Amino acid sequence: MIRSRQSNDHLHSDIILSRISEYDIFRYYCSGFKELGKKFCSDLRQDNSPTVSIIQWRGKLLYKDFGNSDHSFDCFSYVMTKYNCAFYNALLIIDNDFGLRLASHKPEQALTMGYLGFRSNKKLEDKKLTIIRKKSRSWEYKDAKFWKQYLINKKTLIKFAVQPISYYWINDHRFRCNLSYAFKIGSKYKIYSPHDEVKWISNTTSKHIQGWDQLPEKGNIIIITSSLKDIMCLRRMGFPGIAMQSEMQMLGEKTIKDLKKRFKEVILLYDNDFTNSNNPGQTMAIKICEKYDLKNIYIPESYQVKDISDCIAKFGSFDKALEIIKSQL
The full 3-state SS of 62-78, as one line of letters, equals EEEECCCCCCEECHHHH
186 pLDDT above the threshold of 90 = no
pLDDT-based confidence at residue 127 (cuts at 50, 70, 90):
low
Count the neighbouring beta carbons within 10 Å of the beta carbon of residue 39: 16
5-9, 110-114, 219-223: which has the minimum mean pLDDT? 5-9
7 pLDDT above the threshold of 60 = no
109 pLDDT above the threshold of 80 = no
* Cα angle 89-17-65, degrees, rounded to a multiple of 5: 70
Predicted local confidence at residue 55, as pLDDT: 83
Kindly state the average pLDDT of the residues 87-98.
91
Q: From residue 99, give the alpha-carbon distance in Å to each of 12, 61, 182, 229, 266.
A: 15, 22, 42, 44, 54
Average pLDDT of the chain? Answer: 87
Helix/strand/coil for 94: helix
**Taking every pair of C-alpha atoms in the chain, what is the biggest distance, in angstroms?**
72
In this structure, the strands spanning 162-170 and 52-57 are: unpaired
**CA atoms of 243 and 9, how far apart (whole Å):** 38
Using alpha carbons, select from 206, 240, 223, 194 the residue that is nearest to residue 299. Answer: 223
Helix/strand/coil for 309: helix
Kindly state the average pLDDT of the residues 112-125.
78
User: Tell me: the pLDDT tens digits for 16-56?
Assistant: 988 999 999 999 999 889 888 888 888 888 877 787 888 88
61 pLDDT above the threshold of 80 = yes
In this structure, the strands spanning 219-225 and 188-192 are: unpaired
Predicted local confidence at residue 112, as pLDDT: 87
Taking the CA of residue 1 as centre, how many other CA atoms within 13 Å lie in the half-sphere pointing to its CB?
2
User: Tell me: the pLDDT tens digits for 136-181?
Assistant: 999 999 999 999 999 999 999 999 999 999 998 887 777 888 899 9
**CA atoms of 74 and 253, how far apart (whole Å):** 36
Q: Hey, what domains does the chain have and what are their CATH numbers?
A: 13-97 (3.90.580), 131-202 (no CATH), 212-328 (3.40.1360.10)
Q: What are the start-end ranges of the E strands in 25-172?
A: 52-57, 60-65, 72-73, 131-136, 162-170
User: Tell me: the pLDDT tens digits for 187-227?
Assistant: 888 999 998 767 888 878 888 999 999 999 999 999 999 99
259 pLDDT above the threshold of 80 = yes
**CA atoms of 238 and 231, how far apart (whole Å):** 10
Kindly state the average pLDDT of the residues 248-269.
95
Residues in CB range of 158: below 8 A, 6 or more apart = none
pTM (2 d.p.): 0.67
End-to-end CA distance of the chain: 65
User: Tell me: the pLDDT tens digits for 267-306?
Assistant: 999 999 888 777 888 999 999 999 999 999 999 999 999 9
